[in-house]
Amino acid sequence: MRSPLAALSLALELFEKEKMGPLNTKQKDMAVSMKQSVDKLTAMLTMYKGA
């Protein structure tokens, strides 16, 4: 499994590319799943901070 930071930087890279031009479907799916992973991590971190 990739580290959260590696996943985050890859997701950000894909979103940067999206701004410059359209992504193919596979890249879009990857970006969406990365974003979901980042959202999950953010939620988990928020829970730990609140605990």
Other Cβ atoms within 10 Å of 11 Cβ, number: 19
Counting Cβ atoms within 10 Å, is residue 34 exposed (0-12), middle (13-18) or buried (19+)?
A: buried
Question: Is the Cβ–Cβ distance between 24 and 48 less than 8 Å?
Answer: no
Amino acid identity, residue 40?
K
Question: Is the Cβ–Cβ distance between 10 and 33 less than 8 Å?
Answer: no
- For the segment 28-46, what is each residue's pLDDT rounded down to a tens digit? 788 888 889 888 988 888 8
Give the predicted TM-score (pTM) of the model: 0.46
Min mean pLDDT across 8-12, 16-20, 32-36 is at 16-20
